[in-house]
Amino acid sequence: MKVKNGEIFYGSHDIDTDPYYTGERVNRNFIVDGVSEGKSSYKYSKQQNRIKSVSQEEADKKIKELAITADKYAITEPIVNKLNALTTRDNEYRTTQDYKADRELAYRNIEKLQPFYNKEWIVDQGNKVPSNSKLLTTEVLSVTGMKDGQFVTDLSEIDKIMIHYADGTKEEMNVTAVADSKVKQVREYDVTDLGVVYTPNMVDKNRDQLIADVKAKLSSVELISPEVRALMDKRGKAEENTEGRQNGYIRDLFLEESFAEVKAGLGKLVKALVENEDHQLNSDEAAMRALIKKVEDNKAKIMMGLAYLNQYYSFKYAELSIKDIMMFKPDFYGKNVNVLDFLIKIGSSERNVKGDRTLEAYRETIGGTIGINELNGFLHYNMKLFTNHTDINDWFKKAIEKNAYVVEQPSTNPAFANKKYRLYEGINNGQHGRMILPLLNLKNAHLFMISTYNTISFSSFEKYGKDTDEKREKFKSEINKRAKEQVNYLDFWSRLATDNVRDKLLKSQNVVPTPVWDNHNSPNGWASRHGHIDGKPDYAPIREFFGRINKYHGYKYGYGAYAYIFAAPQPMDAVYFVMTDLISDFGTSAFTHETTHVNDRMAYYGGHWHREGTDLEAFAQGMLQTPSVSNPNGEYGALGLNMAYERQNDGNQWYNPNPNKLKSRAEIDHYMKNYNEALMMLDYLEAESVLPKLKGNNDRWFKKMDKQMRKDGQPHQFDKIRDLNNEEKKIQLASIEDLVDNNFMTKHGAPGNGTYNPSDFSSAYVNMNMMTGVYGGNSSDGAPGAASFKHNTFRMWGYFGYENGFIGYASNKYKAEANKAGQTLSDKYIINKVSGGTFNTLEAWKKEWFKQIKTKAQKGFTAIEIDGKTIDSYEKLKDLFDKTVEEDLKGTGTDKTVKLKEKVYKQLLRNTDGFSGDLFTAPQA
């Protein structure tokens, strides 16, 4: 079969969404290579495991085996047709005087311009069509009147007609009214340059009483009413179908404003409705009564259909309103559609008019009726027909620009060049398609969106109090800044992620981009789910978008933001901001936190998952979340990595100043090595200066990172950070190795005493201050604790690199191998694997690394300036630490030592080009 404008075999999205019932049946059928023609629009229609093809030889064999005879059946004309001298549709003009075979298509097309005339007249008119007219060569789908560039869908005066052709093109032709129509009650217009007339497919007669009666029926309908409640879908429980609950379902449709607009405009709407419905040339009382009865029986459905089309199809192509076509000219695309039946069909069910089902409602109720099955196809078709746009991304952005500011942020990674990142291609994707029509129909809300290849962020100017054009324009620079930070972060991961999972970041290309929903905390307060605020105007962003698409989220005390995720990554993953504002310094940091939860198992660990005994929050704050200056959680100055912010290397930075400077995984690993070795050198210097001066009072400077075995979970452990006991206070600490072996850490900046569990949602948020010396590794025989896990992860990355050290330690990379060997995945197992058998405990490894660092430092490091003095040798730096520690020990604090460490660290960062250069004197590093 050849279906040039349809699906080659199965024309329903069920082939994607219903793999069981539909898939089983599709698998029993075949298409024939070289014979079957048609489109393959759906995902699974392109895969041979669903729609199979066979050769002509195989097809003939199957036909013979199954004794199929349908291909040999010939349809013969019934004898009654011959007796009655009936003429087929194909032959109706051939027997007419003056018929010309080469003008057959012109006659068919003239029917569309002159629907009330007989075939003799149509042949006469068709013969007048100029020989160069497209009417002779291309099928006409519809003809629509126009006035001043707008569609006219009633009997109002027109000055042009639009002829819509089957090849997806149109012609607009000037017309002038004919004073004396050939047919009474039919208006005629001369079509300039065609030599023929045009008659609207509407009868010109007095319908005042009919219009009044229909209007009275429709105006009696209230939105909250028994008639509309009857249209609500039935729920499974009786208590879910009470009058009160059904009224709630009606409010959830967010149709109040549109319903009121329709009622206010019923005079004009009913006139157009009746003129398009009543084609009787005479005043047939029975026909009028039947029409009124039909309206009476379906008045609620008609009103809901009108309200729905008014709400979701009011957008324009240039200046042409598509609503006029959808309400009163649904046959525009070539299908024979009854206007009233179309409205009744749309309004007949709650599911057809829900704001979060506009995509499905188009597919199920509208598309098949008008002849363009999918919403995306409908929008594309109209764009090409009515505008000069060739790219729907450009058209969509332009179409919504009055009420929506769109930042489309492309990747700076050449590997991701030409990958999808634009807004329309992101939302024309799975469940996101339900946003398309609401965005096209914004009226009072002012939204903004940030679109990347991985995420789409949604917010509004109203949320930030930007209630004038001037304020909104000024705020755009702040939106642009945060958009750039978002893509900086994603691009950083695109350079860092391993080759086997890198492309999984391309969510707009491969699945659906993750939606990031800003909070609704406007200057007037947090609106209700229907956009109401006590004593204040309704909140338009919820009324017109977030509420309609069922993406409202309420206030949750204590939540800055949260990720909505599942056991395995899937398209429904999302991020919600609550107490944190998306467009803010900390908002970007929170963005990196929550998207870590969404993306990490998919792309951050080389295809592996979280390490056994850990959970989500062990990987975001204090590890992969980019710290912000304004961070309220104490993360700024803790272990971390700047993947988002573009900062100046001004000597006051904690992290790599600009993530874009690190252009490859190798450069990132080089930075992480310098970063960790600079911190460890400072920890070494601090220890060397402190240890000789403690004199048996270790508690003055240190505390302990101890183990606490998990209840019923041995050998897995938590970290127990505590003060030293009496015995530990008096241990003779002769070297840094003693600190490592005893798992001591400095008191300053250390987490508070307590237990740190990497699998909970409280202590797992722990930050590890960069100036805190954590000397041991607290090597585990199973899962680690939260504090040591984060600290060890950074150190492992610094020494062994991202792919070997970070992934090897933080993920389940070696779990299967450990289990196969009859062992538990532990710190000890991992360090042995990662080091190639060189080390069996983290402590042994750290002692060796500390030794290496001191050796390199003594040979020379990048010169720095501290308090006006040049420091270019280990001895000079050691002297500074000795004096500073001595001053602190005279008192009760450690502030001077901490400040010195900070000064030295920041100068080392500055003078090594953000640790991207050489920390130690080359080539000794």
Residues involved in catalysis: 594
Report angle CA 385, 388, 393 to the nearest 5 degrees: 95
Show Cβ contacts of residue 836 under 8 Å, excluding neighbours closer than 6 positions: none
Q: How far apart are CA 792 and CA 810, in angstroms?
A: 9
Q: Which two tokens mark 370? A: 């008008």
Bond from prior residue into 923 cis (ω within 30 degrees of 0): yes
> Which neighbouring-strand residues pair with 920?
861
Please name which of 545, 398, 395 lies closest in space to residue 461, comparing C-alpha atoms. Answer: 545
Q: Is 915 left (phi over 0), alpha (psi -120 to 50) or beta?
A: left
Phi, psi of 2 (to 5 degrees): -110, 115
* Sequence-separated contacts (24+) of 63-70 with Cβ below 8 Å: none
**Largest Cα span, the chain:** 124
Q: What is the identity of the amino acid at 710?
A: R
Instruction: Name the β-bridge partners of 800.
Output: none
Q: Is 66 exposed, middle or buried (0-12, 13-18, 19+ CB in 10 A)?
A: exposed
List the one residue out of 774, 752, 751 whose CA is nearest residue 679.
Answer: 774
Say which residues have a Cβ less than 8 Å from residue 399's Cβ, sequence separation at least 6: 315, 316, 317, 440
- Partner residues linked to 871 by β-bridges: 864
The vertex-237 CA angle with 235 and 243, nearest 5°, equals: 70
Which tokens in the block code for residue 341?
Answer: 């039946």
Q: What are phi and psi of 760, to 5 degrees?
A: -100, -175
- The angle formed by the CA atoms of residues 374, 375 and 378, to the nearest 5 degrees, is 90
User: Measured between alpha carbons, how far is 126 from 113 in angstroms, rounded to an integer?
Assistant: 11
| Nearest Cα to Cα of residue 465 among 529, 515, 520 | 520
H or E segment at 191? strand 189-191
State residue 96 phi and psi, 5-degree precision: -90, 140
Kindly state the tokens that stand for 87.
């003429």
User: 764 CB contacts (<8 Å, ≥6 apart)?
Assistant: 614, 615, 616, 617, 618, 756, 757, 758, 786
- CA-based nearest residue to 326, from 380, 364, 272: 272
Give all strands (DSSP E) within 343-426, no chain letters.
Answer: 404-408
Alpha-carbon span 333 to 437, nearest angstrom: 19
Residue 705 token pair: 């990172």
Question: Which of 867, 349, 363, 904 is CA-nearest to residue 679?
Answer: 904
Under 8 Å between Cβ of 418 and 424: no
Report the C-alpha gap between 23 and 727 in whole angstroms: 72
What's the rounded Cα separation, in Å, for the pair 493 and 212?
66
Tokens of 909: 């960062």
